[in-house]
Structure 1
Amino acid sequence: MGRSMNDLEIFERFPATRALGHVRLGQLPTPVESYPTLAAELGVGELLIKRDDLTGSLYGGNKVRKLEFILADALAGGHERVWTVGALGSHHVLATALYAREVGLEPHALHFPQPMTAHVLEVLRALSTTQPVLTPVESKNGLPFAMAKTHIREWLSRDKNPYYIPGGGSSPLGVVGYVNAALELARQIEDGECPKPDEIYVAAGTCGTLAGLILGARLAGLRATIVGVRVVDKVVCNAPLTAHMANKASQLIREAGGPDIPKICAGDVTLLDDFFGEGYGEETPEGLRVIETVAAHCDLELEPTYTAKTFAALAARAQSLADKRVLYWHTLSGADLSPLIASANIDRDLPPSYRALFDTPLPH
């Protein structure tokens, strides 16, 4: 059967899964590139990078793959707005708001604090251009209660029908986006576009990306060790939760007419805990060092919260990877946000409590 350049790999391999629904947001597949100079600097055998920074021109990174399935479901259900949750500098909240507006949905978000950086302020400026409805909470500890209050408020309003997207887009449908990503990588290997990696490193936040890669690799018969690097609190990122997410997505695929995939167990999940640092969004010395190292050898941009910690884990394990082919899965958007940032009107489009964030000196 001929292959369509516009079709997802999961649909090509398992046509019945088209029943899951999908809206085209991204530019897939993303390339796999080799970085021999950086590999030599780090001391690893061979370094490949899966360029998911290039998933979309409006906004890239790992959220786009998830939102293609999630927003399709929201539209199919007749919803008019989507509601999600994340930190002030959340790339997920930004991606959700941008693409929700793109398909005609109104974005709502519940925001919890994180350390303020210039990058966080840029994210907020870009977010403001979507004219989102934002609800700040005082601390992460207050999140469950605030979430309950927001659900009640949404229910009582009865004016529209909200659609909830979990943090990071890590719903079963969102996980399917990264099942497809693993199948996409397998296809690139089969077609000779890149060699098979021995190990794959990826940031692990809300676990959806990691769960999808593990499930998709098993589905494709891709025998690479997938290593998640934890970048959030352990209560929301752990092996049992990752396995649970993978199995919920597996059930969804099976119910849509796809294959029956063997159960994923917590023991199938590799998660590194040693690179989180002092907290979410807190810079680490090894992360800052690796940002400079990568920038000196290629045009890839890392940021301190997710990607630098993940790459720092890879660099720290270089001795054991000296004879291995390693793939780093880059999950940070590479889209140029400067036009959005330049057009931002934070006084008009952000709640009054947010404006003080832009007047507070940043820590050095």
Structure 2
Amino acid sequence: MTADTLQIEIQQTSNSRLHEVDFNNLVFGRNISDHMFISEYRDGQWHDSRVVPYGDLSLSPATAALHYGQAIFEGMKAYKNEAGDVLTFRAIDNWKRLNKSAERLCMPTIPEDIFMGGLNELLKLDAGWVPSQDGCSLYIRPYMFATDPYIGVKPSDSYYFIIFTSPVGSYYAKPPRVKVETKYIRAAEGGVGGTKCAGNYAGSLYPAKLAQQEGYDQLIWTDAREHAYIEESGTMNIMFMIDGKLVTPYVSETTLDGITRKSIVAIAQHWGVPVEERRISVKEIIDALKDGSLEAAFGAGTAVVISPFATISYEDVDYTVPEVKEDSFVAKVKKYLTEVRTGAAEDTFGWTLKVQ
């Protein structure tokens, strides 16, 4: 896939901001790379695919996404190997998941050549923004939103699809303290919990704020019906090691089909580690914490990668989660994922792609 075959116009910036970035002290999401990819949907087709200098958009105050919430996104990362090549991780899976979200929100799907071709051209142009420091990466944000300048509840007829990037360090500076949420909900059956739509995150901000005021970093969401079963955490899927088994909530219409999550499951199965994808009650986890059978609890996601929990709070009681040992599955799978993503280990699963 090339800019020529896709007819992607390339407008390179004349004023790079790369020299302004302190790559040894990256704050997550604060630095935006020089360029962005844009493609516009109208009249039933995608048009005007281009890479341009990163900058503001000009939108009507009546832009449909601002009023009716047709907005979806993905989170991805790129890495550098020792040779300086830029590698993406499971980008095709992100493209498929974005289109799943698009279908649920009555938005047009994005052709693979536009998603992957635009991504390739953008990363090729901004390769210098990909960090080479340990623990750092280039975060990639593809997103789409409705652009009709129309006030009326209906699917928009026009959309912007945009990709921009940001060099990032660690999401959490230390293992997070999490609280089991038993009042507010993230998603309900029949809703949009399985999509990465903007509204899911907007609705989570208030209960997360309340938890942060109590000294917690994030929430563990429970089911909307009983608040008895664990679903996911605020910015990540949730996984447990119990008696040598990897246990994680199964993917449903109320949970996100996390790409890091499915990667960990695939690696565990490949290594012969028992895996259980099923309903997990809060009581089961609290009992496992009490009797010592819970070996680890951690979040898994593109932003956090693998983030072991320090504390799980339930009904005003804080339970200390065992620290992850160097020879544990959690430590080994985190190391292996990092090595695969950076080209330091053989990618037997075919997950990485080199930017051409």
TM over 0.5, shorter chain: no
TM class by shorter chain equals under 0.3
Give the alignment's TM-score, normalised by structure 1: 0.27
Structure (1/2) with the larger helix percentage: 1
Structure (1/2) with the larger strand percentage: 2
Structure number with bigger Rg? 2
Give the alignment's TM-score, normalised by structure 2: 0.27
Highest RCO, 1 vs 2 (Cα 8 Å, sep ≥ 6): 1
